[in-house]
């Protein structure tokens, strides 16, 4: 395997702030096949990690995982009875990531979070719901599994095999639905307004919710917030490196 030149300066013998269980599949593939002369061959991912420049870590969110977003949406639509209100879907996915960050220090779906008039949203998910695709993404299976938006609702077109979501992530999705599924979109909006301290009340437009702000709102403090931001930057750098490899 030839390592992309952009990541070589960031290799260092240290433990990742996320720990081995949180690193992406790409990181494990990299560690298993690495032949880095300074450290020797076949270094384990817990021993080799990325040192990310401070400028890269500023206001960093985890990259949006399109495959997991599609499967998460499908799971929620399925539990809702094959059709779900769009606002309710977007709020539930945000709350799944929120709970996942609180429990595991990493989201299920990821992406860029914003405060909007009706509560917090994941920007990329809203784009998928509205357009069926993401700008810059050559192909997307959203329309294969989920119908076009009609009357503020989307429906399940085809049930996925859930091959991208881990069992722990499916359990988180089910837990959030069990807690909030009985609420309609307006009740869920009001719940988010009351309980999501990271949300900024707005009459119009949107305001970015940083990962650090979200982490603090769910009880992370000090070093935990710093490690979370560093972990997001590391995984995003890995994604970028392997996308160009």
Question: pLDDT tens across 143-187, in order?
Answer: 999 999 999 999 999 999 999 999 999 999 999 999 999 999 999
CB-CB contact of 50 with 238 (8 Å): yes
End-to-end CA distance of the chain: 10
pLDDT of residue 236: 75
**48/72 same-domain check:** no
pLDDT of 8 higher than 80: no
Q: Is residue 220 part of a domain?
A: no
**21/139 same-domain check:** no
Lookup: tokens for 123: 């920007």
Q: Is residue 31 part of a domain?
A: yes
pLDDT of residue 242: 64
pLDDT digits 0-9 by tens, 214-242: 999 999 988 888 888 888 888 877 776 66
Lookup: tokens for 141: 């299976």
pLDDT level of residue 243 (50, 70, 90 thresholds): low
**51/73 same-domain check:** no
Q: Is residue 3 part of a domain?
A: no
Q: Is residue 1 part of a domain?
A: no
Work out how many domains the chain is built from and give that number.
Answer: 2
Average of per-residue pLDDT across 8-12: 39
Full residue range of the structural domain in which residue 229 is found: 8-59+225-244
**112/230 same-domain check:** no
Q: Is residue 168 part of a domain?
A: yes
């Amino acid at each position: 395997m030839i390592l992309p030149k952009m990541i070589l300066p960031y290799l260092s013998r240290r433990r990742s702030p996320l720990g081995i269980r949180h690193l992406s599949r790409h990181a494990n593939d990299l560690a298993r096949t690495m032949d880095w002369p300074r450290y020797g061959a076949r270094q384990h991912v817990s021993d080799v990690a990325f040192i990310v420049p401070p400028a890269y870590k500023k206001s960093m969110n985890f990259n949006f995982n399109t495959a997991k977003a599609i499967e998460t949406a499908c799971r929620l639509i399925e539990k809702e009875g094959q059709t779900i209100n769009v606002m309710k879907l977007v709020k539930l996915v945000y709350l799944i990531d929120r709970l996942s960050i609180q429990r595991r220090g990493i989201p299920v779906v990821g992406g860029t979070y914003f405060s909007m008039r009706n509560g917090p949203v994941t920007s990329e998910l809203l784009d998928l719901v509205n357009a069926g695709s993401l700008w810059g993404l050559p192909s997307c299976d959203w329309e294969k599994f989920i119908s076009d938006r009609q009357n503020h609702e989307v429906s399940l077109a085809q049930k996925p095999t859930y091959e991208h979501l881990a069992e722990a992530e499916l359990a988180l999705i089910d837990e959030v639905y069990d807690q909030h599924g009985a609420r309609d979109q307006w009740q869920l909006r009001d719940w988010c307004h009351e309980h999501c301290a990271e949300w900024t009340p707005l009459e119009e437009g949107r305001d970015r919710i940083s990962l650090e702000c979200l982490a603090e709102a769910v009880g992370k403090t000090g070093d935990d917030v710093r490690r979370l931001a560093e972990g997001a930057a590391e995984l995003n750098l890995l994604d970028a490196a392997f996308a160009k490899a």
